[in-house]
Structure 1
């Protein structure tokens, strides 16, 4: 998903700040920074974060490049403290190339978070929250529960908008849900999003080096013929998203057919088969560097380690013509920001024919300005173009790739930007 170029997307606070400050300044130190660290009070070992998505800076001064953001109430380790401009207290080192102002935290003797802790954990269906869609009559959202259905709403929700519900309460017999964005909504106006079981395929090390030995059925019911050609006997059928073997492809009478077994052929137009591609020059092949290849023609994604493919799946890319505002741009980039979730909409686009808003879109990885990889729970069109520019993935696939790519999101963080020691994974769109 991506907003149009007429207006920027209304994204989460974290991403908006990352877009503004992430690459805005060089990492040179300001005219004055205290050269030495200061001792902490006896027993202090952690800093409790006091607000959601607290900015984490790459250097100890106000306006330094962003390094990421931290989750509310998490206890992060403190390694050093030093004075710096823009912070009444001290800047606290909470990790490699990671600083937070003391004014935004509470010093604590509480042990800091375990290194394996994640602000949002992996789930069995790839969805970090319970998502709901606003019904055909729309709804209103309120900041205070006691104001729901009584006071003036704080936000109007249009039909089809999506929200992530983290809490439910019953008041005078009516059920209300609190969204992750801290808004209360009548549950009668919401319908649940259904999880999708589809997931991509792990590729074994001994798989053929030149062709992937599997494909996916693209249509609801694909006829399986005994010979390559529509005149062959129909032996059976295969269902949408079914993984099938792939052996070869033949052109018969101007139509292409793919063999998926002994005496089993389907129309090539009714399946998706990812192709193997050489790595771009940006990838360190000798070191087995991870990278991602998105093929627009087949609507597939293949993840590699060096030259070896390790994972493949279906995607949905931008539905616009090449070069348009909603097309996924071709080219090679590196992931420049990773966020567990981000709000995405086009509410500021006055020329939009239809407005959308999806709260807490999961597993977001931006690689070309506002274009990124992310999970999509609002459609099942994987294998077809569908998005507003981003590379949509089934939630399980987006989750899998999020924890495979770099930069790594440290314990207790909600977002991370690359550093010189933890660069972003290469993503090529072709």
Structure 2
């Protein structure tokens, strides 16, 4: 997926869009960096003011995705957002323009206006707390697809099937259900976007067990010794020839050893065992690549390499590969809006989830909407790494520009890269002390 929601939750979904990539409300807010302020000089900020009332140790966030600023004034650069009802620590207090109360420091280069919180004696969250938890299948919510007849969504449960709908959901749209209730014998689900939907119109998304490969420190330095089967059933031959004796088959996503490759009669074959060969076109093999100049190799800096030809991703620490997996990149021709752009960037925003759609694309032949796409890491404007629960085409091009990962792999990389998402936050942008991980697409 490579387009992100920009419409209002209360409107029907036949809105118009511009060409992708698109920015969600949350993502668009993260882009606000104080452009209204003409000068680079910070505004006047008062020194530390009167102390907090005795016993106050935390600030309870009063709305979902509460903006967190890098400095204590309105229009300052964004640092991220906080989760609803989470209690964050208070380290300092400052008066600053744009806040009727005071600005509260809730971490390094992280400020929130007192008007948006409730001061509390409740202990603040543990440093290990996460607004969205890791799960065994990589899916932070229970996801459902809208059935062939479509559905309607309502802001109020009592209005479902009775009042005018607040949103129309088309077949194939995906929603994240966080609560279910039964009213007069019918079951309804509340989405993470606070809309009620008849469960009869929804079908569950099936988790995918596939995950990438952790690479041992003693792995060969020049070639990764494994690959994955790409097709549903790959025939295994006793010799590097389709005319050789068949020795069974291997299933899709199966990890197999990679020993060597040979060209025979215009075709390529890969040896995966003793007297065991498969067509090279029926597997995907990640390759080793040197780091780009942006990476501090001596410090063992983390970075990610995406290879379009093989549809694979390799994560490195310095020159050492530590993890590899399959991906699905943009299906458009190079240079088009749906192609994954080549180049080297740094992750500039991390969001636990983001809504993605193409609802404002007037020229679209088919509309899509995926709510709460998990483990989103933007590195080239609106193009990013994220989990995909709506397809199993990893190893082939599929997306609208983003780098799709199996949910378990997206989850694994999200907590490995920088910037770190602090406890109680739902999104984070880099800072001078916590820069984004390098991502190269080649």
What are the Cα deviations for residues 41-64 of structure 1, in whole angstroms up to 9, with x where unaligned? 111100000000000000000000
TM-aligned CA deviation for residue 11 of structure 1: 4.7
Equivalent residues of 1:341, 1:360 under 8 A apart: yes
Quick one: structure 1 residues 424 and 98, their matched pair in 2 at CA, closer, same or farther if it must change by over 3 Å?
A: same
Quick one: structure 1 residues 22 and 168, their matched pair in 2 at CA, closer, same or farther if it must change by over 3 Å?
A: farther
Quick one: structure 1 residues 335 and 26, their matched pair in 2 at CA, closer, same or farther if it must change by over 3 Å?
A: farther
What are the Cα deviations for residues 379-413 of structure 1, in whole angstroms up to 9, with x where unaligned? 00000000000000000000000000000000000
TM-aligned CA deviation for residue 37 of structure 1: 4.3
Equivalent residues of 1:27, 1:65 under 8 A apart: no
Quick one: structure 1 residues 317 and 205, their matched pair in 2 at CA, closer, same or farther if it must change by over 3 Å?
A: same
**CA distance in structure 1 between the aligned counterparts of 2:255 and 2:34, rounded to whole angstroms:** 40
Question: Is 1:7–2:19 an aligned residue pair?
Answer: yes
Equivalent residues of 1:22, 1:67 under 8 A apart: no
What's the Cα RMSD here?
2.0
Quick one: structure 1 residues 8 and 81, their matched pair in 2 at CA, closer, same or farther if it must change by over 3 Å?
A: farther
Task: State TM-score, norm by structure 2.
Answer: 0.95
SS in 1 for 2:31: helix
Quick one: structure 1 residues 2 and 369, their matched pair in 2 at CA, closer, same or farther if it must change by over 3 Å?
A: farther
TM-aligned CA deviation for residue 23 of structure 1: 8.2
User: Could you list the runs of 5+ residues in structure 2 that have no partner in the other structure?
Assistant: 1-12
Quick one: structure 1 residues 404 and 37, their matched pair in 2 at CA, closer, same or farther if it must change by over 3 Å?
A: farther
Quick one: structure 1 residues 93 and 356, their matched pair in 2 at CA, closer, same or farther if it must change by over 3 Å?
A: same
- Which of 207, 227, 239 is the matching residue for 1:227? 239
**CA distance in structure 2 between the aligned counterparts of 1:224 and 1:239, rounded to whole angstroms:** 11
Equivalent residues of 1:2, 1:370 under 8 A apart: no
Task: State TM-score, norm by structure 1.
Answer: 0.97
Equivalent residues of 1:164, 1:179 under 8 A apart: yes
**CA distance in structure 2 between the aligned counterparts of 1:16 and 1:8, rounded to whole angstroms:** 14
User: Could you list the runs of 5+ residues in structure 1 that have no partner in the other structure?
Assistant: none
**CA distance in structure 1 between the aligned counterparts of 2:201 and 2:97, rounded to whole angstroms:** 49
Quick one: structure 1 residues 4 and 424, their matched pair in 2 at CA, closer, same or farther if it must change by over 3 Å?
A: farther
**CA distance in structure 1 between the aligned counterparts of 2:283 and 2:159, rounded to whole angstroms:** 51
**CA distance in structure 2 between the aligned counterparts of 1:130 and 1:402, rounded to whole angstroms:** 19
Equivalent residues of 1:27, 1:64 under 8 A apart: no
Equivalent residues of 1:11, 1:342 under 8 A apart: no
Quick one: structure 1 residues 126 and 25, their matched pair in 2 at CA, closer, same or farther if it must change by over 3 Å?
A: farther
Quick one: structure 1 residues 429 and 214, their matched pair in 2 at CA, closer, same or farther if it must change by over 3 Å?
A: same
| Match in the other structure for 1:383 | 395
Quick one: structure 1 residues 224 and 27, their matched pair in 2 at CA, closer, same or farther if it must change by over 3 Å?
A: farther
| Match in the other structure for 1:80 | 92
**CA distance in structure 2 between the aligned counterparts of 1:28 and 1:6, rounded to whole angstroms:** 32
Quick one: structure 1 residues 191 and 5, their matched pair in 2 at CA, closer, same or farther if it must change by over 3 Å?
A: closer
| Match in the other structure for 2:46 | 34
SS in 2 for 1:312: strand
**CA distance in structure 2 between the aligned counterparts of 1:153 and 1:428, rounded to whole angstroms:** 44
Quick one: structure 1 residues 13 and 120, their matched pair in 2 at CA, closer, same or farther if it must change by over 3 Å?
A: same
- Which of 159, 167, 184 is the matching residue for 2:171? 159
Equivalent residues of 1:60, 1:91 under 8 A apart: yes
How is 1:201-212 mapped onto 2 (pairs within 5 angstroms)? 201-212=213-224
